[in-house]
Amino acid sequence: MVSAALKLEPELEALPAAEPLARRTEIALRNVSVAYPMGREGVKTVLSGIDLEIAAGEFVAVLGETGCGKSTMLRLILGQEFPSGGCVEVDGKPVKRIDARCGYVPQKYSLFPDRTVLGNVMYGPENVKSGMLGRLRPSYRKFKRELRAEATMYLQRMGLQTQDLSKYPHQLSGGMQQRVAIAQALLMRPPVLLMDEAFSALDPSTRANLQEQLHAIWQESRPTVVFVTHNTQEALLMGSRLILLGRYQEEQSHRNNVLLDMKIPPSRLPFSRRTYSNEFQELHDYVKQIAYKSSSMNREEDAAQPLTLEGNLR
């Protein structure tokens, strides 16, 4: 792992310490490995020797080239998949199944085709509560009214219009479906939010709006977020910590996928102006360089790929 001993600009060094994060460890991966059987070819090791502790309230942005195991890592935390070695804990307990502690926006989201936008978003909490309250009781009607208002608020924060709420998934663009999937996860108010390339299908201006909204939601309620993206700028803008994964290679001396694990210094600038600061661009270049040096394209001595500020790792 490369240690992130960045020299910060005086302005950043002078910043007051960020709001203290709770020390409690929310997510822990302890010596985790994942290897898939490949028939006669033996096994394919995807993750190896991963040791990570994520404190409650951190916003961890995960970057890494395609196929390095980002989605696999999220599925381990979610409990959709289990490690071949080591263990994964959420809130101090080993992860044994998918449960309400983790909200998840998958890379390939799917909505219920026969439910409206609002119906899709309300489905989870409605189902949890309906057993407890009984659909005919007055308290259930109140709960439903409040839930509808909250679902509408999250959908609006995700940029959907009132007239979109009664539409069915087939009437929505891919980007709109993606935003419904995000609202769905947020409405459950999970202590842990796992997001896998959640903004990938969005045009740049919608993406910028959603980045700001999600960041605001994180600051308001401080869930622990693990946010996978291919976009270095987005990772540095959103995260309080950045983890760069690399593809596992047998010949690696350290045998670990974590190439970089660093805190992201907080910024005083308004959210929309942060990417323009010199400090931000320095950090961006630094991360891009490490990502580029370690990428398999580079290992294969592929043609030099220009590093641009807007560029993605993919």
Ligand X SMILES: Nc1ncnc2c1ncn2[C@@H]1O[C@H](COP(=O)(O)OP(=O)(O)OP(=O)(O)O)[C@@H](O)[C@H]1O
The contact mask relative to ligand X for 102-121 (x = CB under 6 A, - = no) is -----x--------------
Is 66 an interacting residue with respect to ligand X (CB under 6 A)?
yes
At residue 163, the 3 state secondary structure works out as helix
Is 71 an interacting residue with respect to ligand X (CB under 6 A)?
yes
CA distances from 278 to 57, 219, 234, 275 (A): 27, 24, 16, 8
Is 72 an interacting residue with respect to ligand X (CB under 6 A)?
yes
Structural contact between residues 183 and 119, judged by C-beta atoms closer than 8 angstroms: no
CB of 272 vs ligand X, minimal distance in Å: 27
Of the listed pieces 64-72, 83-91, 119-127, 284-292, which binds ligand X according to CB under 6 A? 64-72
The correct pick among 68, 76, 151, 155 for binding ligand X (CB under 6 A) is 68
**Contacting residues for 5 by C-beta, under 8 A, at least 6 apart:** none
206, interface contact from Mg ion, ligand X, none, CB < 5-8 Å by kind: none
Is 70 an interacting residue with respect to ligand X (CB under 6 A)?
yes
At residue 234, the 3 state secondary structure works out as helix
Quote the CA–CA distance of 106 and 197 in Å, as a whole number: 8
CB of 64 vs ligand X, minimal distance in Å: 6
Structural contact between residues 240 and 18, judged by C-beta atoms closer than 8 angstroms: yes
**Token code pair at residue 277:** 């600061």
Which residues, 222 to 261, sit near ligand X by CB under 6 A? none
Q: What's the N-to-C CA distance of the chain in angstroms?
A: 21
299, interface contact from Mg ion, ligand X, none, CB < 5-8 Å by kind: none
- What is the contact surface with ligand X in residues (CB under 6 A)? 36, 44, 46, 64, 66-72, 107
